[in-house]
Structure 1
Amino acid sequence: MLSTRRAKFRRTFSMLVLAAFVVVFAVAAMLLGGFLLWSAAEIDDNAVTSQSQRVIHAVEALRTSTPREQESVAVWDDAVTAARQRDENWLESNIGKWMFDYFGHDESYVLGPDDTPIYAAIDGKIRKPETFLSRASALAPLLADLRKLTAAGYLDTPPNVADYVLLDGRPVMASVIPLISDTGNLVQPAGHEAVLVTIVRLDLDFEMRMIDRYMTEVGRFTTVTSTAAGIEAFAVTNRAGRIVAFFEWLPFRPGQELLQRTAPALILAFVFVSLLVSLLLYRLRRALRALEFKRIDAERQATEDALTGLPNRLSFDRQFNGRLDAIKLRDPPTALLMLDLDRFKQVNDTLGHHAGDELIRAVADRLRAVIGPTDVLARLGGDEFAILHTCYAGTVEVAALAQRIVDTIAKPFRVQGSDAFVGVSIGIVVATSGQRDSHELSRKADIALYEAKSAGRNRAAFYEEAMDEQVQNRHVIEAELREALRNPGQLWVAFQPLCGDAEEVLGAEALLRWTHPQIGMIPPSRFIAIAESTGLIEQLGEFVLRRAAELGAHWPGRTIAVNISPAQLRNPTFAERVFALLRETGMRPADLEIEITEGILLDDESTAANTIRSFRAAGIRIALDDFGTGYSSLSYLKRYPVDRIKIDRSFIAQLSTANASDAIVQAMVTLAHALDIEVTAEGVETEEQFQALIGMGCNTFQGYLFSKPLTVDDIHTRFAAPLPRVA
């Protein structure tokens, strides 16, 4: 018995010693391996950051160096004289060849005071001045800005405008500068100087100069980012912040060389020791394996989203708090991006929950492909995701990441044999070393996410301090709006007349108004969006419909138009409620016109189409409001039954002042008439606009030229005896 106990003790002791040895070995190996991995990652990150900074410096340097190089010939009496006399020989020797041979400017143009081309050179060789006309439209904003600057006056140094633009689908640096006298003896009217235009192509020659001058990595400029793994890209933006091109390069990662040199030796050592102890570990591993598997599975279930394999909210919160605690004073800030899918509910309801799960997995895969290797991606639940991103290059880098996410998610998903279209709204907050409260940062990101959705969805918004006040204001407006719905008297409906080309009143559009007892008149722009997000819009919509139906019942033959929100149209009982209201008030269906927007059709095609068809079958007219401001107008005109389009006031306001607006409005009218659709012009305010629209063939008109919105008593009077126009 004693010997048995001793043997058992020895076995137990041996296993404990062996286990201790294995633990020490494993810990040492893990520490060494972890240190190597961490060191390699740190070295690689620092190397990539340094390379990125050199690229940024090179791109920004080109924006400032190009005008300085132009000044070598632009501030020169001889240049002004040559431009006046159109001396092509002088211009070729001193501008065309000089700018190409010495500075590497690929294209040079000299424009007269009226912006007509005088001289053109490409690759140092003279070309016909008309060659510039192919560049004129792309460079027009730069020339316009330069003319404003020169007209304002300047001292010794002439103003210039330089920016990145696309020419022939390729990115270039374009710079414009006036030709001025270096002695002051040649006087030119301010804003009417000859102009030197030079263009530097972002091609192989420029990339070689970048490598030579700024020691950048070998790369290329492109208009689309590569999807290949390991490629770094820097977004080249113009003055307006829009992305013009990307500089892509395969970064040099010295950390990987460290791993390649040390990993083989470590692996051999580990294998050798493992072989020595493998026999002794067998029994111990069998006993521990089951426990380890259970532990790993329990941990995975606790911290991983089962559908996508991403970290869940619990795991994300832990990592977020860890990053906040680790941020030091000089460390780059961490950005929190809150993502919420747009129109996911429609896909889920239309194709089923299995399709919704498949879509969520596909979205997770696309997000994995977009984020960087150090970013943290998690699914918080439903159609909500979150990303932690280290801002090595500031908010511009975060904005570029957010835009890439928006563009990626906007592409169609193939789900169960059908194309599913969703978007994503993103709220962003940047945490610096002084911010440690993850809950507060999450709250701010949620506020920014709400702003992104309120601004039209499918976009990103950065948190700003003013948003907190806006949230409080929304809460106040919501509470006061609920009170206004409970107590009649504050809400009322105005009616803006709808006129024909002879200025006769054909009908009116119902417009909701709110007169608060303390605040006074509250514009719809302040409370309609809040009503839509809080579910109050259906009550407001029914209130307006009832007042419109009461007016329409009193004046048969007059068209009464009512704006309908997406929430109303998605309600499956909405059509029956409208029909019941028409029966109750006695209004003829043919006198009611329902105004919808393109966004309603895009958000919920099947439900919207069925409801609209039921309205058309009953004789109710359908109008497409704010036509031309969306991106789906032409396709939906063919696919959905529409009786009228209403051209947005933004186009009407620019008539006779912008040729493009005239052509666009004429095209809209022609297209609508070709489809047997009437056209209404909104926001007509001048006689010139009215006459131009008549000439284009518009059928009906609205605007302050004819009348402002009227009270119900005033519209009754106007219908009974049409009044003269109100100017």
Structure 2
Amino acid sequence: MALALLVVGLVTVFVVAGLRQDDKARTRERAALLTSLRARETVMEQALVATNDEREALRQLALGDMTSLHRRFGVKLNDGFGFEFVYISDAKGRIIYSSERGEQNQLRAYSWIRPAIERALADGQKAALSGVVATEDAAGLMVARPFEEKVEGLDVAQPLVAITVDVIDPEFLRMVGAPASLEEVELIHRPQHGGRHVGVFIPNLYDGSEAELVWRGAHPGSRMLWGLMPAAVVLASLLAVLFLVLMVRARRLASDLVASEAKARELAARDYLTGLLNRGAFIEALDAAIARRRDGETLALLFVDLDDFKAINDGAGHVAGDDLLRAFARRTEEALGEGSVVARFGGDEFVAVVHCRDEGDLDRTVERLFAALAPPVQLERGGELSLSACVGAARLPQDAATGAELMRLADVALYQAKADGTGLYRLFEPGFDAARVERRRIELELAAALDKGEITLVYQPQVDVESERIVGFEALARWDHPTQGRLLPGAFLAVAEASRLMGRFDAYVLRMALLEARALPGVTLSVNMSALNLRQGAIYNMVAAALAETGFDPALLEIEITESAILDAQSEGQEALQKLRDMGVRLALDDFGTGHASLVHVRRFPITKIKIDKSFIFNMGVDRDASAIVEYVVRLGRSLGITLTAEGVETREQLRFLRAFGAQQAQGYLFAPPLPLVAAVAMLERQNAADAGATPDGASASR
């Protein structure tokens, strides 16, 4: 009877698991399809922003120069991005410019788009509007963006609205379904509610109803269920037999488990090397000490960090370092005495909580600790090492009201002690440098951000100056802070470089970029590396390890290092750069012109590219000296066989200067802002599709 119940139970588990797997697959497919559709909307909105110079458009409308407007706006969106319909309407929905499939003054398709625009204007839409417009005969993905600029003398209701539509046809549906490998994607204008749909409902801007995207869904759970059912029956039988055997043995083992449980809890709470409490056990002990504290009693928390421990560990070896840590733990417990709690938080960081009557009592406790650490440590393998440490302290209730706040303030005090020197003690004071407290906060939050994956990447294209074809992308880091939103590197990189996080940050960004760039084939990937990793000579090992892990082609990787870092590089850094170049990795000198480097100095390093700082590019055509400097750098760089890339290109005039000077590459908002990966992939795919010989007519040819 029990065996039958077990078999039935296992079959039920498999059936439920299969159905849940099918549901999860449908959920993933819906999310992936919506994400792909939103990504297409983002690309369309960015294209609308990039091609619509509002002031110039208003000027051309005021002059009646519709030919120039058509060439600069409608033709670019149709030929360059594949958007079939482009319109500009006034604030009342009247069309003042139209382009359908590249032909000016056409309004054949506007009849099924007009209701969506008129409804948005009637609702007082102020921001960009995007979504699906679907009728029985036609459908499209529409983005409408109100002008921010206005102009006097234009006899139409303002603000104007720029509109573009990407026709939803089989090729469009195949493209949005491709990221999730969805097949037979269809758009249903009037979905029949009810029944079991493998699809997702989306708003229809045409009349405020709903349209539905449906597809042939996968059923991994059902396939798995039928494939595993015979084996599951056999397995259930075996498990039943095993269960009977285990029941017999369990009775004999129960007493042994009870006896070992206490020992396991004790071991789990201890640091294996020093025998002190570990972090988790200490926090529990601190909370208990706070709960037992009597009125008028002071608890002090000490954060202790060994001075120059990394140098000792690297120079004398890990065995000597372990001897030092064990000696420190033993002496600290003896110095602080009975009633104190000492723990190792990891590495060379220790923490203790002690009871004290007043500040003088705390000072005497720290003096005992320093006295205990003063004698040299005798190493097991012979020899001796000196031992010193910095101590930061905070008190409860004088400085903090909770255990978490007490630990934070003691850490701030330790940060101050280490900033002031070695072998020092600091008691927390509210007047400590607020900037240092802020830097510490950023450092801790940045470390947590790396653990949680809050650091993301965007990609800005680098183009050939003559053809304007994409030849590479620069990966740029962004911090998606949980409370402050998206932060640019200027808000946190200085803190990372001043702490121990820079190496970890660079390795994280490099690995992520190499993994994501596999979606950007055939072009170079530029990644910035800090001066710190170059000075320490760690850059080669970091890059080599990332390439080995990801399998990325070294010939397509370009490491960007600032001008000052290159010139300050010692022999270890120069050797690391040469080893990277020998591996095939390209090396770019970033922000050239902001320091004191000259191309003569650059010849001493295996540099393959120079990136001219955007400050010079911005002033070209305005400042004669800036133009002359750029021309000189480009021509001399070409004579040395070095590729020249201009950063911060924003206007066609700047691009004409660069072409005249002979620069090879350019990067800036004229071509595209830093893009999410999906938008960068779409941009490159459009270029590759054009290279493959796609025809110019029809929606499919333009993608």
Query: TM-score band, normalised by the shorter chain?
Result: 0.3 to 0.5
TM-score, normalised to structure 2's length? 0.36
TM-score, normalised to structure 1's length? 0.35
